[in-house]
């Protein structure tokens, strides 16, 4: 099997799995319990919080454990909107956000908030000037993803942050789910108030994530209950998940130190080979793109057909994002990039991990060419 769908999810590290099993079996106490067994679990949770904070260069009290990226994005956006609705009801985001952000914005619109969806250029980037033009007196929040999950475009977070320094009352949320461990980003230095991530995108386990909340930033909790996570996220903490997530993040950052360059070479090889094939158009931009995502379309062939044909050869890629892959409509991101709907309907996403190799990329390209020839013969 060759797995090239790492933006959907990644294979958990053995070390992360081992940590989860060990903590689940030997330290299963409730961290809120007063007895010593609960105290052991609470200590492990605190250690995981400190380790993740150190890896992200933030403070431990700025780390809040969640169930993943969707929850983190909802907590940040709705929580900030509800907390500040008396100051204003205008929010700025982009037209190519992940569904967990985009759909949240649509829900807030139903509740009386006004949302500005910034357009993107043909490379999938928002304009910072455009963003500033849309700031109003009642703007309370800007939410922009770091790395687009479908095409890999890197948004100008640093430039947006510099612009927002002139508007200190506007909160800044960054969806960091696809960028973490692949595209470095300094959280404090870029005046980010909320930053969400999900462990299963960096070889941790599903159902675990983190929302960074800058010290001093306030939001309204979405859950009522036992007031865990300093009253921001009620619910018994997933101690084993948090411990294994800390380990997965540390291992990913270690691999990042030497893994970016080989990953870029694999991505470049794939791009070069794809561009040699008639009828293929690569959508991922050359500049301002993450090293692990490559999106392209095949003229005249539905993406589902191509993906299932590749699957028969033991190769796994995807269409758009996993969260939107079962929708019948063309990719919202590609349409926003002015890609014709017919091409957007035929898009394929390859997404890499640090464990993928040049040899795998060569094998995938060979299989893709064979598959394409077979499908075109059938269609003709």
Active site residues: 323
Sign of the Cα pseudo-torsion (161, 260, 208, 239, in order): negative
Give the CA distances from residue 252 to residues 2, 41, 184, 353, in Å, rounded to whole numbers and listed in that order: 20, 24, 12, 10
φ and ψ at 210, to 5 degrees? -140, 140
Question: Among residues 158, 354, 176, which one has the least CA distance to residue 253?
Answer: 354
- Rounded to whole angstroms, the Cα distance separating 124 from 337 reads 6
| Residue-wise burial string across 39-48, b where 16 or more C-beta atoms lie within 10 A, e elsewhere | ebbbebbeeb
295-315 burial code (b ≥16 CB/10 A, e <16): bbbbeebebeebbebbeebeb
CA–CA dist 179, 155 (Å, integer):
10
- Contacts of residue 160, defined as CB under 8 A and 6 or more positions apart, other chains included, come to 126, 128, 131, 142, 144, 172
**What is the enclosing helix (H) or strand (E) of 24?**
helix 14-26
Cα separation, 380 vs 378, whole angstroms: 6
Residues 6+ apart with CB under 8 A from 251: 13, 15, 16, 203
> Hey, what are 140's tokens?
């309370």
Distant-in-sequence contacts of 225-231, Cβ < 8 A, 24+ apart: 226/32, 228/32, 229/64, 229/65, 230/61, 230/64
Identify the bridge partners of residue 117 per DSSP, sorted by sequence position.
Answer: 93
């Amino acid at each position: 099997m060759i797995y090239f769908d790492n933006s959907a999810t990644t294979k958990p590290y053995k070390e992360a799995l081992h940590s989860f099993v060990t903590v689940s079996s030997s330290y299963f106490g409730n961290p809120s319990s007063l007895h010593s067994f609960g105290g052991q679990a609470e200590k492990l949770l605190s250690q995981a919080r400190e380790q993740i904070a150190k890896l992200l260069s933030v403070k431990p009290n700025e780390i809040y454990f969640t169930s993943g990226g969707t929850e983190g994005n909802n907590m940040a956006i709705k929580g900030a909107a509800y907390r500040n609705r008396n100051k204003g009801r205008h929010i700025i985001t982009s037209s190519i956000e992940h569904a967990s952000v985009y759909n949240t914005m649509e829900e807030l619109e139903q509740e009386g908030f006004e949302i500005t969806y910034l357009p993107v250029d043909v490379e999938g980037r928002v304009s910072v000037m455009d963003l500033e033009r849309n700031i109003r007196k009642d703007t309370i929040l800007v939410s922009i993803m770091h790395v687009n999950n479908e095409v890999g475009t890197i948004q100008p977070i640093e430039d947006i942050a510099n612009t927002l320094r002139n508007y200190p009352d506007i909160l800044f949320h960054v969806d960091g789910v696809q960028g973490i461990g692949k595209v470095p980003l300094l959280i404090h230095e870029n005046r980010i108030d909320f930053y969400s991530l999900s462990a299963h995108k960096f070889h941790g386990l599903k159902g675990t994530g983190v929302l960074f909340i800058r010290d001093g930033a306030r939001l309204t909790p979405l859950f009522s209950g036992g007031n865990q996570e300093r009253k921001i996220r009620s619910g018994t903490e997933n101690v084993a998940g948090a411990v294994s997530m800390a380990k997965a993040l540390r291992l990913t950052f270690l691999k990042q130190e030497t893994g970016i360059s080989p990953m870029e070479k694999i991505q470049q090889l794939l791009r070069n080979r794809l561009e040699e094939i008639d009828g293929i158009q690569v959508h991922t931009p050359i500049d301002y793109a993450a090293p692990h995502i490559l999106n392209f379309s095949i003229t005249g062939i539905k993406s589902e057909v191509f993906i299932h044909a590749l699957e028969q050869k033991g190769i796994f890629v995807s269409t758009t994002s996993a969260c939107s892959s079962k929708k019948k409509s063309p990719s919202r991101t590609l349409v926003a990039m002015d890609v014709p709907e017919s091409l957007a309907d035929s898009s394929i996403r390859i997404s890499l991990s640090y464990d993928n190799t040049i040899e795998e990329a060569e094998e995938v390209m060979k299989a893709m060419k064979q598959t394409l020839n077979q499908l075109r013969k059938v269609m003709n």
